[in-house]
């Protein structure tokens, strides 16, 4: 994608420079535009851009986070709206070996185990794009819907969605949709941020999907994240042979492709064949998750940074809004996991360098959030009206959906097949980026 853009040549990436400590994040400046113009979708330039962020950050902050989240004061090149890139993985049973060879950044090492950050414990990098994309329609408000979708999906890509299943006829990838890293449009996920839908079985061979105000992880999601034991994962289903789709974006009854996402109408009805799937079918294909609940971590150390251009200065009101975005992102993620997991903000004053939850101590149902507070609620904070459109695409970026939320059923692909990272398509002319193609991830918690 970035290869066709007019991007200045950066001879050497200078580390970002520290500017200010805020209540929930740290501000840095991109002194030479090496971060702004980094090519995040190919291995060597990604590592150079990432090193400029990590080295500048670690110069002023302890190495104590598994995930680094970067917001910026500029937009990623359209149509990319946000991205996640795994930089380490040692988890088995989440289907990582299927996706690793398709990612242009990750080295393909057999089962997908690798570590590109041997000198730190970072396992994933989230580029969240321009920070104002997460604001709501009301002054001072944030968009719960958009945060639950984009932050939930990007962080979810650390474990999701790559698994196959086996019902006695060999490996089957019918659960997968866009980029083989998201759930299929026709999978019943209950409204996961990693896509699929909450499909209602009407009992007459038709099924209806409804829109979500807030996206929440499914039982399968939570199992793959290490937060549920397999015996607590309820069966789910996928829809085969969809026909007679009813959606105001497709008057002729044509059906969205597997890699589509959201739709324009308030609901989406389809005639299809239901295929039930169990967690045993997934384990038959992938093996058991290792580490599994309750040994897998249930607290995730995250550092949040805002990177500005060298000459940019934010006012106090803008800085406070950024604090609100991060605070709400943490609350919503905790609630999206039903309180089984929580984010520990390592860039909050007093958190950096502290030890944090090693996971495995609290079983499902325990919502105590250790040193990060109680699990967040899904109540609305500010305007939650922003919605994401489904744009089909490849591992780099999907084509932008229409601003009214219609699904992209054209099957148009993103710019570069098999490239690394993940992207969200953005609406022309600015505004919140609507969901496009996202990609790969993996989970690793290296012990200190």
Mean pLDDT score, 261-271: 89
- Are 244 and 159 part of one and the same domain? no
Domain co-membership, 32 together with 107: yes
Average pLDDT over residues 238-263: 85
Kindly state the tokens that stand for 266.
């308030």
From 271, 286, 301, give the residue that closes a domain. 286
In a domain, 2, yes or no: no
Q: Which long-range contacts (CB under 8 A, 24 or more apart) does 55-61 make?
A: 55/15, 56/15, 56/16, 56/17, 56/18, 56/28, 57/16, 57/26, 57/28, 57/303, 57/305, 58/120, 59/15, 59/18, 60/18, 60/26, 61/26, 61/303, 61/346, 61/347, 61/352
271 plus 217 within the same structural domain: yes
Q: What is the pLDDT of residue 117?
A: 84
Question: So what's the pLDDT on residue 136?
Answer: 87
As a whole-number percent, the residues of the chain with pLDDT over 70 amount to 74
CB atoms within 10 A of CB 356: 23
- Pair (362, 419) in one structural domain: yes
What are the pLDDT digits (tens) for 101-123?
888 888 866 566 788 888 788 99
How sure is the predictor about 269, in pLDDT bands with cuts at 50, 70 and 90?
A: very high
Per the structure, the complete domain to which residue 167 belongs is given by 12-184+291-448
221 pLDDT higher than 70: yes
- Do 153 and 242 share a domain, yes or no? no
Indicate whether 153 and 279 sit together in one domain: no
Are residues 164 and 144 both part of a single domain?
A: yes
- In the chain, the number of structural domains is 2
- Which pLDDT value is given to residue 142? 92
Q: Does any domain span residue 197?
A: yes
Question: 17, 34 in Cβ contact below 8 A?
Answer: no
Domain match, 136 and 218 both = no
Query: Contact 305/273 with Cβ under 8 angstroms?
Result: no
Report how far apart, in Å, the C-alpha atoms of 153 and of each of 33, 163, 323, 339, 353 are. Answer: 27, 16, 20, 17, 27
Q: Are residues 402 and 388 in the same domain?
A: yes
Residue 432 is predicted with a pLDDT of 33
What is the structure's pLDDT at 249?
A: 63
* 269 and 376 part of one domain: no
- Give, for 88, the enclosing helix (H) or strand (E): strand 88-89
Cβ contacts of 247 within 8 Å, gap of 6 or more: 256, 263, 264, 265, 268, 269, 407
Among the candidates 262, 286, 310, a domain finishes at 286
pLDDT at 366 over 50: no
Are residues 361 and 384 located together in one domain of the fold?
yes
Average pLDDT over residues 219-235: 98
Checking if the pLDDT of 213 tops 80, the result is yes
Q: What percent of the chain has pLDDT over 90?
A: 60
Residue 28 lies in a domain: yes
304 and 176 in one domain? yes
User: Among residues 379, 382, 371, which one has the least CA distance to residue 332?
Assistant: 379
Q: How confident is the model at residue 4 (pLDDT cuts 50, 70, 90)?
A: very low
Single pTM value for the model: 0.79
- Of 227, 256, 286, the one marking the end of a domain is 286
User: What is the spatial distance between Cα 50 and Cα 397, in angstroms, rounded to a whole number?
Assistant: 19
3 part of a folded domain: no
């Amino acid at each position: 994608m970035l290869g066709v853009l007019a991007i200045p040549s950066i001879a050497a990436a200078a580390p970002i420079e520290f500017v200010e400590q805020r209540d929930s994040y740290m501000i840095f400046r991109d002194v030479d535009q090496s971060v702004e113009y980094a090519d995040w979708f190919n291995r060597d330039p990604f590592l150079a851009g990432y090193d400029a962020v990590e080295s500048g950050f670690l110069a002023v902050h302890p190495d104590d986070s598994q995930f680094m989240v970067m917001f910026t004061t500029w937009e990623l090149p359209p149509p990319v709206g946000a991205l996640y890139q795994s930089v380490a993985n040692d988890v088995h049973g989440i289907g990582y070996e299927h996706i690793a060879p398709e990612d242009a950044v990750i080295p393909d090492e057999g089962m997908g185990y690798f570590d590109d950050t041997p000198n730190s414990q970072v396992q994933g990098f989230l580029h969240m794009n321009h920070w104002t994309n997460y604001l709501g329609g009301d002054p001072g408000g944030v968009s719960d819907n958009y945060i639950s979708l984009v932050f939930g999906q990007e962080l979810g890509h650390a474990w999701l969605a790559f698994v196959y299943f086996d019902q006695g006829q060999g490996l089957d990838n019918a659960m997968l949709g866009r980029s083989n890293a998201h759930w299929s449009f026709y999978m019943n996920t209950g409204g996961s941020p990693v896509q699929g839908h909450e499909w209602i079985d009407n009992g007459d061979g038709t099924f209806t999907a409804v829109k979500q105000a807030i996206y929440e992880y499914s039982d399968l999601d939570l199992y793959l994240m290490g937060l549920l034991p397999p015996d607590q994962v309820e069966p789910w289903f996928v829809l085969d042979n969809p026909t007679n789709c009813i959606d105001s974006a497709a008057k002729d009854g044509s059906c969205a492709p597997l890699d589509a996402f959201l739709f324009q109408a308030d609901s989406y009805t389809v005639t299809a064949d239901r295929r039930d799937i169990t967690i045993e079918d997934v384990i038959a294909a992938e093996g058991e998750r290792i580490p599994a609940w309750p040994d897998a971590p249930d607290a995730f150390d995250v550092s949040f940074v805002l990177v500005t251009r060298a000459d940019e200065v934010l006012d106090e009101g803008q800085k406070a809004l950024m604090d609100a975005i991060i605070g709400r992102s943490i609350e919503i993620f905790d609630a999206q996991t039903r309180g089984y997991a929580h984010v520990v903000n390592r860039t909050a004053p007093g958190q950096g360098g502290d030890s944090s939850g090693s996971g495995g101590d609290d079983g499902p149902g325990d919502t105590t959030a250790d040193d990060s507070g109680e699990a967040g609620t899904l109540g609305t904070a500010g305007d939650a009206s922003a919605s994401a459109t489904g744009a089909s695409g490849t591992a780099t970026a999907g084509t932008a959906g229409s601003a009214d939320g219609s699904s992209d059923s054209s099957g148009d692909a993103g710019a570069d097949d098999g490239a690394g990272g993940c992207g969200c398509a953005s609406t022309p002319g600015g505004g919140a980026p609507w969901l496009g193609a996202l990609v790969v991830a993996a989970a690793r918690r290296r012990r200190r």
